[in-house]
Amino acid sequence: MNIRKKNVLTRKGIALLILSMLCMYTGLICGDVEPVVFSSMIFCYFLYNVNTNYSKFKINVRRKISQKEALECDFVRIKTILECNLDGKGNIGLEKACNHGLEGGNRVDTNIFDTNMNKENKYGLENGNRTDSVVKKGIGEAIVEGIDILDKKSRIRGSNRIFANLKGKREIEYTLEVKKRGRYTIGPLRYRIYDKAGLSFEDAELEIKDEVIVYPKIEEIKNALVESGFYRHYPGEYITRQSGSSTEFRTIRDYVRGDPIKRINWKASRRFNKWMVNEYERDNICDVVMFLDAREVSKIGTPLLNPLENSIRALVAIAAHLIRSHNHVGLVVYSDTVYTLTPSGGNAQLQRILSVVTFVEGKGDTRFVTALENAEGYLSPKTGILLFSSLDYDPTIRNALYRLNAKGYEVTIISPSSIDFERVFSGYVCERYKMVRMERDNLLRELAGYAKIIDWMPGENIQSMLKRCFDE
């Protein structure tokens, strides 16, 4: 337990202390005994309540979470149980109401004793969940108020406040709406204990923390879209009509020295009186390496709508499709440093990609050519390259694409337009936008000679973007 504030006076306690001092001063000035006696009685009452021994209060907290891993836009139910133990007697009286609240944390607009605890409260990611609350407290026994401290980006439905007397058990249940990928921390639990008269309090924290990991949501790519042209750009993404190692039967042929014995077709060999082997379709697998631009400039826009978030959503959708089509996918993320994930296949590789992009933050200014140099070790001549970048403030992009084109690599660039995200965020079009938009169009036309480029506009979904990309 971490004590933050000890024996702090409330507004009610300060007012009572001032009243006692005024009575004492009035009695001494006027020579009247009654104000002095009244002041002494108030001061004794004040000292009796303020000198509360908070060390005898024992607070136990348990927290239950419906799921520790979730996808974007999921809902996570959280139940916090607070148990208070006190060596005393008496029941709490609900006679007076006062306005107070714990500092920090996520407050909600609700009466703590309201039976409707599922009232929906929506707030923006930037501002967190902070409003004032009215908490009822009474006279006769000390009281405790607790709150689960949440991340500023958290959005909740219900109340994350808990309120109880110091001889009982109380639980609250609320829903955490996870709109954005990343790590959501729940806790610590901050609580405040008031004395019997509500004149002073003590703040403390219980270092009880839980985490919820939110992965990017994978958007399915429709079969019709795939058949319309996605395969053309990555040879080997589909099963070709060539012999090889697979499970799909193709034909029977004569035995050739070096064929595995397990492929011998014993019935056909007996029938034709010569060695015959089974031949299967070959899974023509290719490597695709995805480059993700996670520099500081990629965060232009809102927390949920910017080039980086759009790039990640498209990346995981395409990566999932390629891996499920038996391809090998690698990942290179460049921000302040360069992180590489060598090409591999299977669900384990998809999980590794999700684990990496979940915690990517826009920072740094590493250039594409630096990321390319880190990945050259596993770029085979037939590797497909997919770059997710807004292409802003990177003078090395031309030379890097020229090198890749000269070596025969097929490069596809999916470029969310940062200037258009900024236009949507600001809500108006200025002369600067027109000039920057013209510069971007010129850059895209220049780079089109080295790579296939799609200019991804805000509001366009992944399906239509991919269709426009691979049908052109």
Q: What integer is the mean pLDDT of 439-446? A: 92
Residues 175 and 188 in one domain: yes
Q: What integer is the mean pLDDT of 344-348? A: 89
Residues 84 and 197 in one domain: yes
More confident of the two residues 218 and 237: 218
Q: Would residue 436 count as lying in a domain?
A: yes
Q: Would residue 279 count as lying in a domain?
A: yes
Model confidence over 262-306: pLDDT tens digits?
A: 889 999 999 999 999 887 654 546 789 999 999 999 988 888 889
Q: What integer is the mean pLDDT of 453-457? A: 90
Stated pTM of the model: 0.71
Q: Taking Cα atoms as reference points, which of 155, 151, 130 lies closest to residue 75?
A: 155
Model confidence over 135-157: pLDDT tens digits?
A: 334 344 667 888 888 988 888 88
What is the pLDDT at residue 330?
93
Q: Quickly tell me which residue has 């995981």 as its tokens.
A: 316
Choosing from 215, 250, 267, the residue where a domain stops is 215
What is the pLDDT at residue 214?
94
Name the region of 187 (left: φ>0; alpha: ψ -120 to 50; beta: rest): left
Q: Would residue 227 count as lying in a domain?
A: no
Q: What integer is the mean pLDDT of 202-213? A: 88
Residues 275 and 203 in one domain: no
Residues 123 and 251 in one domain: no
Residues 250 and 320 in one domain: no
What is the pLDDT at residue 336?
93
Residues 267 and 332 in one domain: no
What is the pLDDT at residue 376?
85
Q: Which two three-digit tokens encode residue 155?
A: 């959005």
Position 225 pLDDT exceeds 50:
no
Domain that holds residue 291: 287-471
* CATH code of residue 211: 2.60.40.10
What is the pLDDT at residue 52?
67
235 phi and psi angles, rounded to 5 deg: -60, 135
User: How far are the Cα atoms of 3, 86, 243, 365, 367 from residue 298, in angstroms, in the given order?
Assistant: 41, 54, 45, 10, 13
What band does 129 get if pLDDT is binned at 50, 70 and 90?
A: very low
Which 3-state string (H, E, C) describes the chain? CEEEEEEEECHHHHHHHHHHHHHHHHHHHHCCHHHHHHHHHHHHHHHHHHCCCHHHCEEEEEEEECCCEEECCEEEEEEEEEEEECCCCCCCCCCEEECCCCCCCCCCCCECCCCCCCCECCCCCCCCCCCCCEEEECCCCCEEEEEEEECCCCEEECCCEEEEECCEEEEEEEEEEECCCEEEEEEEEEEEEECCCCCEEEEEEECCCEEEEEECCCCCCCHHHHHCCHHHHCCCCCEEEEEEEEEEEEEEEECCCCCCHHHECHHHHHHHCCCEEEEEEEECCCEEEEEEECCHHHHCCCCCCCHHHHHHHHHHHHHHHHHHCCCEEEEEEECCCEEEEEEECHHHHHHHHHHHHHCCCCCCCCCHHHHHHHHHHHCCCCCEEEEECCCCCCCCHHHHHHHHHHCCCEEEEEEECHHHHHHHHHCCCCHHHHHHHHHHHHHHHHHCCCCEEEEECCCCCHHHHHHHHHHC
Residues 70 and 125 in one domain: yes
What is the pLDDT at residue 114?
32
Residues 170 and 256 in one domain: no
The C-alpha R_g of the chain, in whole angstroms, comes to: 33
What is the pLDDT at residue 238?
39
In angstroms, the CA 325 to CA 219 distance is: 15
Q: Would residue 233 count as lying in a domain?
A: no
Choosing from 228, 251, 283, the residue where a domain stops is 283
Q: Taking Cα atoms as reference points, which of 82, 203, 102 lies closest to residue 150?
A: 102
CB 330 within 8 A of CB 342: yes
Residues 210 and 298 in one domain: no
Model confidence over 360-407: pLDDT tens digits?
A: 999 999 999 999 999 888 787 778 899 999 999 999 999 999 999 888
Residues 169 and 125 in one domain: yes
What is the pLDDT at residue 367?
94
Position 256 pLDDT exceeds 90:
no
Q: How many domains does the chain have?
A: 3
Residues 279 and 293 in one domain: no
What band does 130 get if pLDDT is binned at 50, 70 and 90?
A: very low
Position 462 pLDDT exceeds 50:
yes
* CATH code of residue 393: 3.40.50.410
What is the pLDDT at residue 471?
60
What is the pLDDT at residue 266?
92
What is the pLDDT at residue 117?
30
What is the pLDDT at residue 98?
31
CB 449 within 8 A of CB 435: no
Q: Would residue 64 count as lying in a domain?
A: yes
In angstroms, the CA 127 to CA 343 distance is: 40
CB 67 within 8 A of CB 75: no
Q: Are strands 410-416 and 155-157 parallel, antiparallel or unpaired?
A: unpaired
Q: Would residue 228 count as lying in a domain?
A: no
CB 293 within 8 A of CB 387: yes
What band does 357 get if pLDDT is binned at 50, 70 and 90?
A: very high
Q: Would residue 271 count as lying in a domain?
A: yes
What is the pLDDT at residue 181?
93
Average the pLDDT over each of 281-290, 319-328, 331-340, 377-386 and give the range with the smallest value.
281-290
Position 63 pLDDT exceeds 80:
yes
Q: Would residue 453 count as lying in a domain?
A: yes
Model confidence over 34-58: pLDDT tens digits?
A: 888 988 998 888 888 777 666 666 7
Position 233 pLDDT exceeds 50:
no
Q: What integer is the mean pLDDT of 423-451? A: 84
Model confidence over 9-31: pLDDT tens digits?
A: 888 888 988 988 998 988 888 88
Model confidence over 164-204: pLDDT tens digits?
A: 776 677 888 999 999 899 999 998 988 888 887 888 888 88
In angstroms, the CA 333 to CA 339 distance is: 5
Model confidence over 67-119: pLDDT tens digits?
A: 999 988 889 999 988 887 754 433 333 223 233 334 443 433 333 223 233 33
Residues 315 and 458 in one domain: yes
